[in-house]
Amino acid sequence: MSVYYCGQTVPGKVKNQPRNLPDHILANESIQVYAVEQDDTALHSHEFLELAYVVDGKVEHTFGDNRSILQAGDYFIVDYGVAHRYRCMQGDSFELINCLFLPQFIDRSLTGCNSMRTLLNNYLIRMSPDNLPAAPTNRVFHDEDGTVRQLLQEMIEETDAQQQGYLELARCDLIKILLLTMRRICTAPNPLPAGKLSRRIALRLEKDCANAPTLSALAEELHFSVSYLSNRFREETGTTYTAFLQQVRMENACRLLANTDRSVGEVAALCGYQDIKSFYAVFRQHMGVPPGQFRHSLRG
């Protein structure tokens, strides 16, 4: 049989038959994990994230402009829209574990997220891209002690059995895989380097965006001029203080709408908006829909 990848059929014999084709199951649960005996594939890309783990055999893998030989214990992450393909060595198939997922599987507030970078900065993972020397989706990792394979196998068993809490357990396993993997390439033990003023400010805003100071108040507190602090923040982050604060507030609003039953008015206040009309306008600008519609889309 073949495995279906976003409009293309890719040769492969699935060992644990998915309940539906990956693009369909992703729409319902945002996750699909299965083992497959993989053959050669054409160059293809996806509209979801893929973590692929080589269980057995040897394969030539083309990933963007990079080509490498993979063997048992090697694994990698494919970002949205990145093309890759497999070519079997000596004509033999090889065995993979594929974990296909949408960022919203980690946290429902990530609905609409389409990059690994944004996912890693989510509050449940909090692995700052600032400390990653290169994109984690552009390299091959090796599972030295078999921990990643064991976690993937647990995910397969949970999603196949579908017992009470199976998605929550699979989510925990996936977060652990991502954290263990990013830890290997993170350049600093602290995900918020103290040397960057902007990161210290960002941490403060993320901790309490409802009571965020104005730029002028912050400048006075730090004994800087407003123009100096504004320019330095923009240089270090690529955005303005106001735009950054707005983004933090919208991310917090999405989390509250997704994971609590608080009213839209309560969510607005908790995110620092006393004027409900302003909150609605900013939310629609960022998310494309009003807060109530955003919540309804998450809960079906």
Which CATH number covers residue 100? Answer: 2.60.120.280
pLDDT value at position 236? Answer: 84
Query: How many domains in the chain?
Result: 2
Is 268:253 a contact under the CB 8 Å cutoff?
Answer: yes
pLDDT value at position 108? Answer: 80
* Single residue among 133, 159, 185 that ends a domain in this structure: 185
Query: Does one domain contain both 18 and 124?
Result: yes
- Taking each helix axis as running N to C, give the angle between helix 241-259 and helix 291-299, from 0 to 180 degrees, rounded to the nearest 10: 40
* Coarse DSSP helix, strand, coil percentages of the chain, rounded to the nearest 5 percent: 50, 20, 30
Residues 6+ apart with CB under 8 A from 246: 282, 286
Residue 167, in any domain of the structure: yes
Query: Does one domain contain both 201 and 135?
Result: no
How many whole angstroms separate alpha carbon 61 and alpha carbon 169? 31
Residue 192, in any domain of the structure: no
CATH of the domain at 242: 1.10.10.60
Virtual torsion, Cα 35, 39, 44, 46, nearest 10 deg: -10
- The tens-digit pLDDT sequence of the chain (300 residues) is 233 333 333 445 555 544 444 444 455 678 999 999 888 888 888 899 999 999 998 899 988 778 889 999 999 999 898 889 998 886 677 899 999 999 989 888 787 788 888 888 776 666 666 666 566 787 899 999 999 999 999 999 999 999 999 999 999 999 999 999 988 877 544 444 444 788 889 889 988 999 999 999 999 999 999 999 999 998 888 889 999 999 899 989 988 998 889 999 999 999 999 999 999 999 999 888 899 988 887 765
pLDDT value at position 34? Answer: 95
Give the residue numbers spanning the domain of 280.
197-299
Is 275:214 a contact under the CB 8 Å cutoff?
Answer: no
pLDDT value at position 77? Answer: 92
pLDDT value at position 191? Answer: 43
* Single residue among 151, 185, 219 that ends a domain in this structure: 185
Residue labelled with tokens 């809490």 = 165
Query: Does one domain contain both 168 and 231?
Result: no
**Helices marked H in the chain — which ranges?**
22-29, 116-120, 147-161, 166-185, 197-207, 215-222, 226-237, 241-259, 264-270, 276-287, 291-299
214: DSSP letter: P
Residue 190, in any domain of the structure: no
Residue 191, in any domain of the structure: no
Query: Does one domain contain both 132 and 28?
Result: yes
Closest CA to 211 of 160, 281, 274: 274
* Single residue among 121, 155, 185 that ends a domain in this structure: 185
pLDDT value at position 187? Answer: 55
Cα 125 to chain centroid, rounded: 9
pLDDT value at position 189? Answer: 47
Residue 40, in any domain of the structure: yes
Query: Does one domain contain both 154 and 233?
Result: no
Residue labelled with tokens 């600032």 = 130
Query: Does one domain contain both 158 and 240?
Result: no
Burial class of 13 by CB neighbour count within 10 A (0 to 12, 13 to 18, 19+): middle
186: DSSP letter: -
pLDDT value at position 4? Answer: 31
The pTM assigned to this predicted structure is 0.67
Q: Tokens for 114? A: 């389409």
